[in-house]
């Protein structure tokens, strides 16, 4: 039983952390332009 007292909060906490990260990502428009993200890696930054 005493193990549960630690493990359950840990499980919940990690889940909540994942959820928080997902919400953060949504809010910061990380999923707004998925095709664009795939294209952008091809842009050559050195080019002048």
Partner 1 sequence: MNAHATLAPGEAHAEHDTRFTVPGIRCAGCIAKIERGLSQLEGVEAARVNFSAKRVAVRHDERWDEDSLILELAGLGFEAQPAAENPLAQDDKETRRLLRALAVAGFGMMNIMLLSVSVWSGAGGVTRELFHWLSALIALPVVAYSGRPFFSSALMALRHGRTNMDVPISIGVLLATIMSFHETVVGGEHAYFDGAVMLLFFLLTGRALDATMRGRTRAGIGALLSRMGKYATVVQADGSTSRLEAKELAAGMTMLVPSGEALAADGRILEGQGRIDNSMLTGESMSVAVSVGDTVHAGAILIDGPLVVEVTAANDDTVLAEIARLMDEAGQSRSRYVRIADRASRFYAPAVHTLALLAFAGWMLAGAGWHQSMIIAIAVLIITCPCALGLAVPAAQVVASGALSRAGVLVKDGSALERLAEVDIALFDKTGTLTLGEPVPDVSALDVTAQQVALGLAQASAHPLSRGLAAKLRENGVIAAEITEIDESAGVGIRGNWQGTEVRLHRGSEKTEAPGTELRIGDRRYAIGFADELRADAKTALATLSELGISSRILSGDTKGAVEKVASQLRIEGFGGVRPEDKLAMLEELKARGHKPLMVGDGLNDGPALAAAHASIAPGTASDISQQAADAVFLGKTLAPVATAVRASRRTMAIVRQNFAFAIIYNVLAVPLALAGMVTPLIAAICMSLSSLIVVANSLRLARAAR
Which residues lie near partner 1 (CB under 8 A)? 1, 8, 11-12, 15-16, 18-19, 22-23, 26, 31-36, 39-44, 47
Taking the complex as a whole, how short is the minimal distance between the CB of residue 6 and partner 1, in angstroms? Answer: 14
Taking the complex as a whole, how short is the minimal distance between the CB of residue 34 and partner 1, in angstroms? Answer: 6
C-alpha 14/C-alpha 23 separation (Å) is 14
| Radius of gyration, alpha carbons of the chain | 19
Taking the complex as a whole, how short is the minimal distance between the CB of residue 23 and partner 1, in angstroms? Answer: 7
CA angle 32, 17, 33 (to 5 degrees): 5
């Amino acid at each position: 039983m005493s193990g549960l007292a630690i493990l359950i909060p840990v499980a919940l906490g990690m889940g909540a952390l994942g959820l928080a990260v997902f919400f953060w990502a949504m809010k910061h428009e990380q999923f707004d332009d998925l095709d664009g993200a795939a294209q952008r890696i091809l842009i050559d930054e050195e080019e002048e």
